[in-house]
Chain A
């Protein structure tokens, strides 16, 4: 999966903003990294929208392999 990780995208976005704020780049380079910055922002936004919570529990089935079940979160004191 060639998709960039959320964390790396946030880092990159931060760095790009710093670079632009320094104002030392020429306009071509500025436009280039600005575009990249927007792209990073979109990636982060997308990840935030797509992420979904799953609470799971591992158990061993009859064969001894690990299986994930949904962890009963509704019941505060699960059995």
Chain B
């Protein structure tokens, strides 16, 4: 404490202060007497003015003190103060000269007591829910078989012990990387958030467990802070939150990819039992082999059945049917061939016939036949002509005969010829000439004995 104003100085006894001066001195004294202090109390008359600054009264059952919360500090608060809230604030004591009032200028404030805490919790939960931090769509599935687990919790305490025990029991091959943090108190939320971010940089960590053992709502408060919620949301590695309470939910629980009621439960959710995994693997492998064996057996059976069939036992029989078919087709082929030949022959016959008709031999034959015919006709004609002539002749002959001088002969006359000429007088011949006497029937060869005149 400085000794700027020596109130015991006799010289100052009669000094007359102005209001401003005394006020300024009072302010000085107060500002130096108190560094920034923590004060606990109840808020009342809380009002925010146009400038964004907030004015209120902090009181307990016996006294009160004015408080100012400037806009900057107000926006940094993790909750919205309301009348009736129990709060813990950090501030500087000072005097507002113009009003002659001493007051606290608030640097930071946080809710205190169940009611206030509950309200802050509801407010933040509402805000983050609306911002989508709790959305199911964002939640990642946990890996089924992680081999490295990251843990964010206190290095002392039951939580880490339980987690390690359970992981070791379920799968002694799983590695654990612990990022030790404070899980309550000043700065714990920031430490937890940092831990989550840092563990995200280890590429082989497959799942994170964040949590702590049980405690009061104030003890668990770090897991209700926005910075932790955002770190969990931003984590690329799936996060299991395991904050001691079976029944209450912290905000981290809502954001996490999975919520476990206790750290032990978290370890169980994170890590499957190795023995079971080995059993599953064996079973699958067994099934694989059996399936394949079944398939092979099936095919073997099929093959065996085929071999057992007649065809394989008596391969000859394979040929029977085809042989029959071959015969049938051959028959049909031959028939067809015959048919074809027939047709061709007919055609040939037809053509040959026509050829023949047109050939010289035939022509000759035809001509010959014609000739013969004509000849025959000729003969017939001649014959008939002859007959006709004969008939005429005979007719004429008869007539002639009828008219013939020789008919006289029939009456007894005769014709004496000499040298072919008819003798009409005896003087034509002489004694001893040959004379032919033609009678009606026959002739007489005579000699003249004597001529008589």
Q: Report A's interface with B, CB cutoff 8 A.
A: 6-7, 10, 13-14, 16-17, 20-21, 23, 27, 30-31, 34, 37-38, 41, 44-45, 47-48, 51-59, 66, 68, 71, 73, 76-79
| B contact residues, range | 35 or more
Contact B156 A56 (CB under 8 A): no
Contact A37 B177 (CB under 8 A): no
A34-B161 Cα distance, complex, nearest whole Å: 44
Contacting A at CB under 8 A, from B167-202, are 168, 172-180, 198
Among B145, B278, B288, the residue within 8 A (CB) of A38 is B288
Contact B281 A48 (CB under 8 A): yes
Among A20, A27, A53, A57, the residue within 8 A (CB) of B288 is A20
Seed contacts A21-B287, A23-B294, A51-B147; 10 additional CB < 8 Å A-B pairs: A7-B143, A16-B288, A20-B295, A34-B292, A52-B173, A55-B164, A57-B155, A58-B180, A73-B164, A77-B161
Q: Report B's interface with A, CB cutoff 8 A.
A: 143-145, 147, 155-156, 160-161, 164, 168, 172-180, 198, 274, 277-278, 280-281, 284-285, 287-288, 291-292, 294-295, 298-299
Contact A17 B156 (CB under 8 A): no
A73-B169 Cα distance, complex, nearest whole Å: 13
Contact A23 B295 (CB under 8 A): yes
A49-B156 Cα distance, complex, nearest whole Å: 32
Q: Which residue of A lies closest to B175 (CB)?
A: A54
Q: Would you give the shortest CB distance from A33 to chain B, in whole angstroms? A: 9
Closest 3 CB pairs of A and B: A51-B173, A20-B291, A54-B175
- Chain A residues with CB below 8 A from B177, complex form: 56-58, 68
A17, A44, A66: most-surrounded residue (chain B CB, <10 A): A17
A-B contact pairs, 5 of them (CB 8 A): A30-B292, A37-B285, A54-B176, A77-B161, A79-B156
A41-B289 Cα distance, complex, nearest whole Å: 11
- Chain B residues with CB below 8 A from A6, complex form: 145, 147
Among A10, A55, A66, A68, the residue within 8 A (CB) of B144 is A10
